[in-house]
């Protein structure tokens, strides 16, 4: 069977599975819709958290970035995995013990203020919409290549699927859908990696294959081979970095603390019965995430080596079918500048004739390696699972922020459970449409957009949550001031240096030599400083709030979490 046929079969089966689960486990109450009834097992929650966490950026784009950035791309590996450890150890158990539905719910109650809640809702919406834009673009990229539709149509199809199971099932439906999506995406990521590792090095373990010798009898190590190919074409050695230490540190820190402030990941820990279960599911999720994250560097090495060997200085007319297929999507293009009919893939932009979108590397990798059609189709199904799982989690955060934190907690406290559920579903529908618009008009490739979302989360939520848990004297005035300053500073820097607003600027103009992806670290520090300075000139929190903060840090006798 052809790749197209296999893709229709595998994508059709997985979509039928997701929709079936959503119908079977549809939400019947707001507690089901927001936190899956609070009764999810640690294993199921660990798998759902891993799927929620491993978005299109992890599955589709991260290995693509590492393929082209080499050593510099390691900041994504260090930042995202390190950040999850930070979240699991520092925040998740305490937030679960506090027992609220959402991050704005925690901030609104902890800082005893409707204003704090509203600011937190605005921050959650900004972070979530920035993040979901990357997911919808990932859906469009997969559909455009494997289902032979343009990216815009692919995004619209993805919107309809997400809308169906997110709006119908809520967190209950999403949780069990994400368990299935984790199984699909991890199988789809590992199978081609194992195939290619055996093909190139004879080693079935990709993580070891990356550091092994090639099985062509030359005795050359794979990484040495890639370093040599890269330098021949004028690129930096693959294993050498070009970013400054300051920028690498800033990006890694922004990704780490941004992870710990992501509302769609934090809300997963509200779905388990007990604080102990939150810790267990965090540990399980970390193990499940590590399977993909330790394999991604190997996939990037395999993909880059095969790409160079296939296209560099080869006749355009002799390019295999995969090359022409990706050309049709517009994500790969060849411009024969010297009219010799050969592809010049070099670092010199004036001479380079091949333009490759980072986001195609993982998806094209099995095709470049000439793997069986079913493996190529499996990767498409995995990419869709990764993008859709995270998109659904983000849409739930958006709808809960509007229905629970704004409508119920601020504007209409007496709203019935049924009416609140309808508001939540309406908000999710509007959010899907907006997310689709961003998917059709993306501000960059998937991982770059997602990295900005982490910077926004670091700048806004992380200080407010950490101070809210570990510093009982932190008051509402300090927290609100810090969040406003952090998010505004990050938005200004991001739009100025990423999108050219406010006069734009080049990398030479970056403040402290830090890129927009890393500036969340600086905005976070500004948030902390402003919050603590404002605290000195404003009243302490009420005694009952300070007692709550003391209580959520007491591990003994935690049992069932308090709250609803």
Structure confidence by residue, pLDDT tens digits, 37-65: 556 788 888 888 888 777 777 787 788 88
The residues, any chain, with a CB within 8 Å of residue 272's CB and separated by 6 or more, are 38, 39, 40, 41, 42, 45, 96, 278, 281
For residue 197, what pLDDT is reported? 93
Please, what sign has the CA dihedral across residues 10, 12, 18, 23? negative
The answer as to whether 558 is a domain residue is: no
The answer as to whether 81 is a domain residue is: yes
For residue 484, what pLDDT is reported? 94
The answer as to whether 18 is a domain residue is: yes
| Token reading at 56 | 């299109």
pTM recorded for the entire structure:
0.80
The answer as to whether 563 is a domain residue is: no
For residue 28, what pLDDT is reported? 63
Closest residue by Cα to residue 394 from 186, 154, 138: 138
The answer as to whether 62 is a domain residue is: yes
State the greatest distance between any 2 C-alpha atoms of the chain, in Å, as a whole number.
78
Burial of 374 (0-12, 13-18, 19+ CB in 10 A): middle
User: For residue 299, what is the domain's CATH number?
Assistant: 1.20.1730.10
The answer as to whether 564 is a domain residue is: no
The answer as to whether 560 is a domain residue is: no
Q: Indicate the length of the chain as a whole number.
A: 564
Structural domain boundaries enclosing 462: 3-552
In the chain, how many domains are there? Answer: 1
For residue 562, what pLDDT is reported? 45
For residue 447, what pLDDT is reported? 53
- Beta strand pairing call for 354-356 and 332-334: antiparallel
Question: Which residue ranges of the chain lie beneath pLDDT 70?
Answer: 25-39, 100-101, 147, 165-171, 442-450, 554-564
For residue 479, what pLDDT is reported? 93
Q: Tokens 């197209």 identify what position?
A: 4
For residue 389, what pLDDT is reported? 74
Please give the radius of gyration of the chain, using alpha carbons only, rounded to the nearest integer: 24
The answer as to whether 561 is a domain residue is: no
């Amino acid at each position: 069977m052809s790749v197209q046929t296999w893709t229709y079969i595998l994508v059709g089966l997985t979509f039928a599975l997701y929709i079936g689960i959503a119908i079977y486990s549809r939400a019947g109450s707001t507690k089901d819709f927001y936190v899956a009834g609070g009764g999810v097992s640690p294993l199921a929650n660990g798998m759902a958290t891993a799927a929620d966490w491993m978005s299109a950026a992890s599955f589709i784009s991260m290995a693509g970035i590492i393929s082209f950035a080499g050593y510099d791309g390691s900041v994504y590996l260090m930042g995202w995995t390190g950040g999850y450890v930070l979240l699991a150890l520092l925040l998740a158990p305490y937030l679960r013990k506090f027992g609220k539905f959402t991050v704005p719910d925690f901030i609104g109650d902890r800082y005893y203020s409707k204003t704090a809640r509203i600011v937190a809702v605005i921050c959650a919406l900004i972070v979530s919409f920035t993040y979901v834009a990357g997911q919808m673009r990932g859906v469009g990229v997969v559909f455009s290549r494997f289902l032979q539709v343009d990216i815009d149509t692919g995004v619209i199809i993805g919107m309809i699927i997400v809308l169906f199971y997110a709006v119908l099932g809520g967190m209950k439906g999403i949780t069990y859908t994400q368990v299935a999506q984790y199984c699909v995406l991890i199988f789809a990521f590992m199978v081609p990696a194992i195939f290619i590792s055996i093909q190139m090095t004879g080693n079935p373990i990709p993580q070891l294959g990356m550091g092994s010798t090639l099985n062509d009898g030359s005795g050359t190590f794979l990484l040495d081979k890639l370093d040599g190919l890269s330098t021949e074409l004028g690129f930096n050695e693959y294993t050498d970095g070009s970013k400054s230490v300051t920028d690498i540190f800033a990006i890694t820190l922004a990704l780490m603390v941004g992870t710990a402030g992501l509302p769609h990941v934090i809300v997963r820990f509200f779905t388990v019965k007990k604080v102990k279960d939150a810790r267990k599911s965090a540990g399980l999720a970390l193990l499940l995430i590590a399977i993909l994250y330790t394999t991604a560097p190997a996939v990037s090495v395999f993909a880059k080596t095969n790409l160079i060997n296939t296209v560099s200085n080869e006749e355009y007319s002799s390019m295999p079918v995969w090359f022409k297929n990706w050309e049709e999507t517009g994500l790969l293009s060849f411009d024969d500048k010297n009219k010799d009919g050969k592809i010049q893939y070099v670092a010199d932009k004036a001479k380079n004739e091949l333009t490759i979108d980072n986001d195609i590397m993982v998806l094209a990798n099995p095709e470049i390696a000439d793997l069986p059609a079913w493996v190529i189709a499996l990767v498409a199904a995995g990419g869709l699972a990764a993008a859709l799982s995270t998109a659904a989690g983000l849409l739930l955060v958006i709808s809960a922020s509007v229905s629970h934190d704004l409508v119920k907690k601020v504007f209409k406290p007496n709203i019935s459970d049924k009416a609140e559920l309808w508001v939540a579903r309406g908000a999710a529908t509007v959010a899907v449409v907006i997310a689709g618009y961003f998917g059709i008009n993306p501000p960059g490739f998937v991982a770059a957009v997602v990295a900005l979302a982490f910077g926004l989360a670091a700048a806004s939520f992380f200080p407010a949550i950490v101070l809210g848990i570990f510093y009982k004297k932190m008051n509402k005035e300090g927290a609100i001031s810090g969040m406003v300053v952090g998010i505004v500073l990050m938005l200004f820097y991001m739009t100025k240096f990423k999108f050219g607003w406010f006069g734009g600027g080049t990398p030479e103009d970056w403040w402290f030599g830090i890129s927009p992806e890393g500036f969340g670290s600086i905005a976070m520090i500004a948030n902390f400083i402003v919050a603590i300075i404002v605290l000195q000139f404003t009243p302490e929190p009420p005694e009952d709030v300070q007692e709550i903060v003391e209580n959520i840090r007491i591990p003994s006798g935690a049992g069932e979490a308090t709250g609803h």
